[in-house]
């Protein structure tokens, strides 16, 4: 049954900190901020709405996106000119914390230090080189038009807005497309070994949602090579003293002073020491929250703790239900599994996706003739074929398996077949393009994809939701900036393939270095003695939480709770979502949270390396975040991109948007009384919303 909104009242100010039970979201207290609710004096508040999603004319002043007026083609250049600058001599007086050392964080830390700021960079890995950006395989988009196939900045902008199902800001997306061409030049100058044609020019290939070849790549290791480029720039600044690098250090909370972000509290993952670090601005570049589903293609250590506690300190969380299911992953093999493995979308350039026409056809795929095969993407979407966007390809695979035509254990798989390409191009060409991916597949499955079709099935891969940011990448907390996958800004309800690397590097190399100075010009470097009390308070709260987790001594492991949460999220808030299923999840998750805080067992102590303690804190945050994701998915009773409400679909099973009621960014505010929904209306001047078609 649907969740009823609470009696309408102005939400209280976000509290400084909540224990595990006071930060929860009871079903009876959900509030939706927009038009229609009453303020304390009984007058209508135009910044609030009812749960059904109707939007008023008023705006939350914190949700000023700061999108420049005027022609979109010159908006970023004009905006940069109007930003205030910090004198080079004054930059040495400011300190900036960057949390995360992947493409967004590493690029930001290196670039800010290059400008002259003092930078403190933090990562939980033993080296910045181990950031999860390294796992990206297929490529990075850029509107260079080297193929002379009709690409342009505007076409990349158009494809991205359309691919996101018209749930992203036009201004942010155009800037991303505009900066894409600079990213390639930057990376080539760093020595990133992009693939090249025989002539020596950079090579490109196609990805989903586009009819041009704009994806630059380094075999199936693009993320690794791009990260090494950023890492070299970062290490240079570490050597010069511009960056203080803190590895094996995890951010556990945000320090506020006079309503501004002033630092972070961390735990040394080797010694267990909890300490605070202060700065004049904080950048979070900590990636996405896909591990809320337990099984995902994310690295095991990927977590949401940094952005979740920033949210609990006052940063709005935007579109948390917008999660991406990647269509080409190695299927689940059993209950023992704790991680899934991505097979790059680039494989769909040369691989053909198919399933048997007949239900239960268990023949060796090489023995199934073409007449008994259904190349369902080519059949349903002839214009784009196997290169439809990820959300479309994932739902199509699920539909085939739901019909009983899936292959492999449990019938949860379809074939990705390279036989035609091998016959046409030869094994050598395929090896040159995908050898490391084919080798990885064979090591995991024991099957040779040069001889037998790959088996693939959709899996959680990326999160389009994240902390709300304006055009300057600043959150609703002054001084807190958010970059890369940790923010929500560029991809709407579905990210196109090869755009994550593009966004991370655009934010780190080009956007933050230009915008963060504008904020700093309005501040004075804060004296350390003024922040001691604020830091000490947060340190004590973090220590108390660690002590509480260690003191429970229950009967269940942390992983057992994480696995149960993942099962709830996948079944109720995964590829297909319904009002009934989401309501059931919102009943189940609070019970799971209560069980966690009463029955989890965390061995060891907090004064040493303790991975169980690390995971316990992360899973506690995932449980709360999972509940917010389900609330967001329940309130948005339309389908758009990766958010597929089964009640809202076209007759042929495609996502059916409701632009009249839901053309907005859902930005959730954390309060002690439950989550409050604020709304940023989306305006489309250049790419007008329409029903997406890839046929």
Calculate what percentage of the chain has a pLDDT beyond 70: 91
Same domain, 441 and 547: no
CB 461 within 8 A of CB 297: yes
Burial environment of residue 469 by CB neighbours within 10 A (0 to 12, 13 to 18, 19 or more): buried
pLDDT of residue 217: 96
Residue 423 domain flag:
yes
Alpha carbon separation from 336 to 179, 308, 480 (Å, rounded): 43, 28, 39
Helix or strand or coil: residue 279? Answer: coil
Query: pLDDT confidence of 531, banded at 50, 70, 90?
Result: confident
Lateral strand order in the sheet of 95-99: 243-246, 118-122, 95-99, 281-284, 480-482
Query: pLDDT confidence of 5, banded at 50, 70, 90?
Result: very low
- Residue range 150-165, pLDDT digits in tens: 999 999 999 999 999 9
User: Residues 55, 205, 390, 433: which is the catalytic one?
Assistant: 390
Average pLDDT over residues 127-147: 96
Same domain, 667 and 540: yes
pLDDT of residue 102: 98
Spatial separation of the C-alpha atoms in residues 11 and 671, rounded to whole Å: 7
- Residue range 230-270, pLDDT digits in tens: 999 999 999 999 999 999 999 999 999 999 999 999 999 99
pLDDT of residue 21: 41
CB 390 within 8 A of CB 331: no
Alpha carbon separation from 297 to 267, 300, 353 (Å, rounded): 26, 9, 20
**Last-in-domain residue among 416, 437, 461:** 461
Whether the predicted pLDDT of 673 surpasses 80: yes
pLDDT of residue 185: 97
Helix or strand or coil: residue 331? Answer: coil
What are the tokens at 647? 């009640």
Average pLDDT over residues 376-399: 97
- Residue range 444-483, pLDDT digits in tens: 999 999 999 999 999 999 999 999 999 999 999 999 999 9
pLDDT of residue 44: 34
Query: pLDDT confidence of 31, banded at 50, 70, 90?
Result: very low
Same domain, 641 and 548: yes
- Angle at Cα 81 formed by Cα 77 and Cα 85, nearest 5°? 135
CB 639 within 8 A of CB 389: no
Spatial separation of the C-alpha atoms in residues 129 and 235, rounded to whole Å: 10
CA dihedral 436, 128, 80, 176 (to 10 degrees): 20
CB 225 within 8 A of CB 231: no
Q: What are phi and psi of 254, to 5 degrees?
A: -110, 140
The 3 state secondary structure assigned to 484-516 is HHHECCCCCCCCCCCCHHHHHHHHHHHHHHHHH
Same domain, 566 and 651: yes
Which of 621, 618, 634, 689 shows the shortest CA–CA distance to 666?
634
Residue 660 domain flag:
yes
pLDDT of residue 325: 96
Query: pLDDT confidence of 530, banded at 50, 70, 90?
Result: low
- Residue range 628-643, pLDDT digits in tens: 999 999 999 999 999 9
Whether the predicted pLDDT of 500 surpasses 70: yes
Whether the predicted pLDDT of 39 surpasses 90: no
Residue 19 domain flag:
no
The 3 state secondary structure assigned to 134-150 is HHCCCCEECCCCCCCCC
pLDDT of residue 526: 75
Domain count, the chain: 2
Same domain, 446 and 564: no
Query: pLDDT confidence of 289, banded at 50, 70, 90?
Result: very high
Q: What are phi and psi of 349, to 5 degrees?
A: -65, -40
Average pLDDT of the chain? 92
Lowest mean pLDDT among 44-53, 238-247, 575-584: 44-53
**Last-in-domain residue among 461, 486, 512:** 461
Residues linked to residue 267 through DSSP beta bridges, in sequence order:
250, 274
Bridging pattern class, strands 118-122 and 140-141: unpaired
Q: Give the pTM.
A: 0.92
Same domain, 554 and 643: yes
pLDDT of residue 335: 84
Average pLDDT over residues 216-223: 94
Helix or strand or coil: residue 207? Answer: coil
Can you state the angle between helices 579-599 and 558-573, rounded to 10 degrees? 170
Q: What is the CATH number of the domain that holds 365?
A: 3.90.700.10
Comparison of pLDDT for 213 and 50, the residue scoring more: 213
Same domain, 438 and 539: no
Residue 652 domain flag:
yes
Bridging pattern class, strands 118-122 and 95-99: parallel
DSSP string, 72-137: GGGHHHHHHHHS----HHHHTT-EEEEE--SHHHHHHHHHHHHHT-EEEEE-SSSSGGGSGGGG--
Alpha carbon separation from 633 to 88, 309, 321 (Å, rounded): 46, 21, 5
Same domain, 542 and 676: yes
Same domain, 538 and 457: no
Same domain, 537 and 676: yes
CB 66 within 8 A of CB 471: yes
pLDDT of residue 344: 95
- Domain hosting residue 617, numbered range: 532-681
DSSP string, 635-674: H--S-BTTB-BTTSB-TTS-B---HHHH-EEEEEEP-TT-
Residue 563 domain flag:
yes
Residue 311 domain flag:
no
Q: What is the CATH number of the domain that holds 593?
A: 1.20.58.100
Which of 212, 199, 163, 157 shows the shortest CA–CA distance to 179?
157
Same domain, 668 and 548: yes
Comparison of pLDDT for 637 and 335, the residue scoring more: 637
Average pLDDT over residues 74-84: 98
Whether the predicted pLDDT of 47 surpasses 70: no
Which of 503, 580, 380 shows the shortest CA–CA distance to 104?
503
Calculate what percentage of the chain has a pLDDT beyond 90: 88
Whether the predicted pLDDT of 9 surpasses 80: no
Known catalytic residue at 567 = no
Whether the predicted pLDDT of 10 surpasses 60: no
Whether the predicted pLDDT of 576 surpasses 90: yes
pLDDT of residue 529: 67
Alpha carbon separation from 15 to 12, 203, 282, 309, 670 (Å, rounded): 8, 53, 20, 12, 9
Whether the predicted pLDDT of 12 surpasses 80: no
**Last-in-domain residue among 412, 445, 461:** 461
Average pLDDT over residues 90-101: 97
Average pLDDT over residues 598-606: 98
Residue 231 domain flag:
no
What are the tokens at 539? 């340190």
Contact residues for 404 (Cβ-Cβ < 8 A; gap 6+): 359, 360, 411
Residue 686 domain flag:
no
């Amino acid at each position: 049954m649907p969740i009823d909104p609470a009696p309408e009242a102005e939400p209280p100010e976000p509290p400084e900190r909540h224990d595990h039970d006071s930060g929860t979201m009871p079903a009876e207290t959900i509030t939706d901020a927009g038009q229609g609710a009453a303020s304390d004096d009984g007058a209508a508040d135009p910044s609030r709405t009812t749960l059904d999603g109707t939007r008023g004319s008023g705006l939350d002043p914190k949700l000023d996106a700061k999108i420049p007026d005027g022609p979109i083609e010159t908006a970023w250049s004009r905006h940069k000119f109007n930003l205030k600058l910090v004198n080079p001599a004054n930059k040495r007086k400011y300190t900036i914390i960057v949390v995360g050392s992947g493409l967004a964080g590493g690029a930001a830390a290196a670039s800010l230090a290059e400008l002259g700021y003092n930078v403190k960079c933090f990562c939980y890995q033993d080296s910045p080189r181990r950031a999860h950006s390294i796992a990206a395989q297929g490529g990075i988009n850029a509107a260079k038009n080297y193929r002379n196939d009709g690409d342009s900045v505007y076409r990349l902008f158009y494809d991205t807005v359309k691919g996101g199902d018209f749930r992203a800001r036009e201004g942010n997306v155009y800037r991303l497309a505009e900066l894409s061409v600079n990213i390639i030049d930057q990376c080539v100058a760093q020595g990133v070994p992009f693939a090249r044609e025989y002539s020596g020019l950079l090579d490109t290939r196609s990805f989903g949602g586009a009819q041009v070849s704009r994806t630059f790549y380094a075999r199936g290791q693009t993320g690794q090579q791009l990260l090494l480029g950023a890492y070299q720039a970062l290490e240079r600044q570490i050597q010069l003293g511009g960056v203080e690098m803190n590895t094996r250090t995890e951010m556990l909370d945000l320090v506020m002073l006079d309503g501004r972000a002033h630092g972070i509290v961390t735990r040394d993952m080797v010694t267990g020491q909890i300490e605070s670090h202060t700065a004049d601005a904080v950048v979070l570049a900590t990636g996405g929250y896909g591990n809320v589903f337990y099984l995902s293609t994310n690295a095991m250590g990927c977590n949401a703790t940094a952005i979740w506690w920033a949210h609990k300190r006052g940063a709005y969380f935007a579109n948390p239900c917008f999660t991406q299911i990647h269509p080409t992953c190695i299927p689940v093999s059993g209950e023992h599994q704790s991680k899934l493995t991505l097979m790059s979308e680039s494989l769909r350039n040369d691989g053909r996706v198919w399933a048997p026409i007949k239900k239960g056809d268990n023949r060796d795929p090489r023995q199934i003739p073409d007449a008994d095969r259904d190349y369902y993407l080519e059949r349903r979407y002839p214009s784009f074929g196997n290169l439809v966007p990820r959300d479309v390809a994932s739902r199509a695979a699920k539909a085939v398996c739901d019909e009983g035509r899936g292959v492999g254990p449990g019938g949860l798989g379809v074939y990705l077949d390279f036989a035609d390409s091998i016959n046409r191009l030869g094994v050598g060409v395929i090896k040159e393009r995908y050898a490391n991916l084919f080798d990885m597949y064979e090591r995991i499955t024991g099957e040779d994809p040069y001889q037998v079709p790959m088996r693939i099935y959709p899996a959680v891969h990326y999160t389009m939701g994240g902390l709300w940011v304006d055009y300057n990448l600043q959150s609703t907390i002054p001084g807190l900036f958010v970059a890369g996958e940790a923010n929500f800004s560029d991809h709407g309800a579905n990210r196109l393939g090869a755009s994550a690397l593009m966004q991370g590097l655009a934010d780190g190399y080009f956007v933050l270095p230009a915008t963060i100075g504008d904020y700093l010009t309005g501040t004075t470097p804060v004296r350390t003695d003024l922040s001691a009390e604020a830091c000490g308070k947060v340190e004590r709260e973090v220590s108390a939480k660690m002590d509480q987790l260690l003191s429970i001594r229950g009967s269940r492991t942390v992983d057992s709770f994480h696995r149960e949460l993942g099962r709830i999220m996948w079944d109720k808030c995964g590829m297909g979502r319904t009002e009934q299923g989401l309501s059931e999840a919102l009943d189940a998750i609070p019970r799971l949270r209560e069980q966690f805080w009463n029955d989890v067992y965390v061995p060891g102590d907090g004064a040493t390396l303790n991975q169980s303690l690390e995971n316990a804190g992360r899973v506690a945050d995932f449980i709360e975040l999972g509940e917010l994701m389900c609330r967001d998915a329940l309130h948005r009773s339309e389908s758009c991109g990766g958010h597929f409400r089964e009640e809202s679909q076209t007759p042929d099973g495609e996502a059916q948007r409701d632009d009249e009621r839901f053309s907005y960014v859902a930005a959730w505010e954390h309060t002690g009384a439950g989550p409050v929904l604020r709304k940023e209306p989306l305006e489309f001047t250049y790419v007008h919303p329409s029903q997406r078609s890839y046929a």
